[in-house]
């Protein structure tokens, strides 16, 4: 009995933290069902009226589509460029390698606010208007360090004799890359793609500087809306996003195995 008490205390503590982790998410999901005109928790009454109300707010759908487009573009380009760079860094010897490694990792050290201001100033000088492309470029910079980390990790442990074996059997350079190398480092590359999609989709700070009145990503839309309006429509939008994320995660888990994705992230 004496021994079990601390153990129970420990489990209790951990459970509280798990509750703490889920609390804001659960709160958002539940308050979206309120019948009141204002946000309240626990919800009063149960209704889906705030989901129906979304029909009157097509701007959220527009922003959602824009965010998905930007996130997809970012994820594709960032993963492609990140993989090429990782290959050069892991497998080639060249002057200035450390400088490039540091340059590519440095967006992690620069606060997004500063990068956002810098990008806004630069865009206005060169006359690049708010557009999906302008957003994608900014997000590529933000996500490349993560992609690089994941892909470099999967390349470092790579046994090059596997590639030699393929070459020995008659495969050319490109064939070796697409048939042997890429499938083997797949989990790192896919983890990088997922991570950059999420980062881009979630980004508020940089987008806040780049958006205009008709090019608004979803996080920016939600952020500005909740500063001026207090109706629960934000909770229904957020709930849909949370549910979409969960569905997406289940799909990824089914296709890839989340364990794998997170395992490589852990490195």
Selected range binding other proteins among 23-31, 51-59, 68-76, 149-157, rule: CB under 8 A: 23-31
Q: Which residues in the 79-138 window bind other proteins by CB under 8 A? A: 80-82, 84-85, 87-88, 92, 94, 100, 103-104, 106-122, 125, 137-138
Q: Which class for 20: exposed (0-12), middle (13-18), buried (19 or more C-beta within 10 A)?
A: exposed
38-67 binders of other proteins (CB under 8 A): 39-42
For residue 123, give both structure tokens: 């865009």
CB of 56 to other proteins, least distance (A): 21
Using CB under 8 A as the binding rule, whether residue 10 contacts other proteins is answered as: yes
- The piece of 17-25, 46-54, 58-66, 149-157 that touches other proteins (CB under 8 A) is 17-25
Provide the minimum distance between the beta carbon of 48 and other proteins in the complex, in angstroms, as a whole number: 19
Contacts of 155 (CB under 8 A, 6+ apart): 86, 87, 90, 91, 185, 188
| Gyration radius (Cα) of the chain, Å | 23
Minimum distance from CB of 248 to other proteins (Å)? Answer: 8
Separation of alpha carbons 197 and 70, rounded Å: 9
Least distance between other proteins and beta carbon 133 (Å): 11
CB of 55 vs other proteins, minimal distance in Å: 21
What are the distances in angstroms from CA 59 to CA 28, 70, 72, 230?
20, 16, 20, 17
174 binds other proteins (CB under 8 A): no
> Quick one: which segment of 45-53, 58-66, 68-76, 160-168 binds other proteins (CB under 8 A)?
160-168
- Which H helix or E strand runs over 90? helix 58-91
- Pick the binder of other proteins from 135, 153, 208, 215 (CB under 8 A): 208
Tell me which of 1, 2, 8, 18 binds other proteins, using CB under 8 A: 18
Q: Pick out residues in 240-259 that bind other proteins (CB under 8 A).
A: 241-242, 245, 249, 258-259
Residue 238 as a binder of other proteins (CB under 8 A): the answer is yes
Task: Tell me whether residue 50 or residue 209 sits nearer to other proteins (CB atom).
Answer: 209
Residue 228 sits in the site that holds other proteins (CB under 8 A): no
C-alpha to C-alpha distance for 195 and 150, rounded to whole angstroms: 10
Q: Could you give the dihedral angle defined by the CA atoms of residues 217, 196, 143 and 185, in that order, rounded to the nearest 10 degrees?
A: -160
Neighbour count for residue 95 (Cβ, 10 Å): 7
Long-range contacts of 235-241 (CB under 8 A, 24+ apart): 235/28, 235/29, 235/31, 235/32, 235/34, 235/39, 235/50, 236/32, 236/50, 236/51, 236/53, 236/54, 237/54, 237/60, 238/28, 238/32, 239/28, 239/29, 239/32, 240/51
Q: How far is the CB of 251 from other proteins (least distance, A)?
A: 13
Q: Does 178 bind other proteins (CB under 8 A)?
A: no
């Amino acid at each position: 009995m004496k021994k079990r008490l601390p153990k129970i205390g420990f489990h209790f503590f951990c459970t509280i933290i798990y509750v703490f982790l889920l609390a804001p998410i659960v709160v958002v999901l539940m308050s979206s069902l309120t019948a009141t005109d204002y946000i309240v928790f626990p919800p009063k009454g149960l209704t889906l009226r705030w989901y129906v109300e979304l029909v009157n707010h097509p701007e959220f759908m527009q922003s959602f589509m824009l965010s998905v487009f930007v996130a997809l573009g970012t994820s594709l380009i960032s993963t492609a460029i990140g993989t090429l760079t990782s290959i050069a860094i892991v497998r080639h010897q060249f002057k200035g390698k450390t400088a490039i490694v540091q340059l590519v990792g440095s967006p992690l050290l620069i606060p997004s606010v500063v990068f956002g201001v810098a990008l806004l100033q630069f865009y206005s000088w060169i006359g690049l208007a708010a557009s999906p492309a302008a957003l994608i470029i900014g997000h590529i910079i933000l996500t490349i360090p993560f992609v690089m980390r994941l892909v470099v990790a999967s390349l470092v442990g790579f046994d090059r004799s596997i590639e030699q074996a393929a070459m020995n059997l008659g495969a050319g350079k490109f064939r070796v890359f697409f048939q042997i190398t890429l499938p083997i480092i797949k989990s790192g590359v896919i983890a990088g793609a997922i991570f950059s999609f999420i980062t881009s989709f979630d980004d508020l700070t940089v987008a806040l500087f780049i958006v205009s009145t008709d090019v608004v990503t979803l996080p920016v839309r939600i952020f500005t809306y909740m500063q001026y309006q207090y109706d629960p429509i934000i909770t229904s939008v957020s709930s849909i996003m949370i549910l979409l994320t969960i569905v997406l995660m289940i799909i990824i888990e089914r296709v890839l195995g989340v364990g794998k994705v997170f395992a490589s992230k852990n490195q």
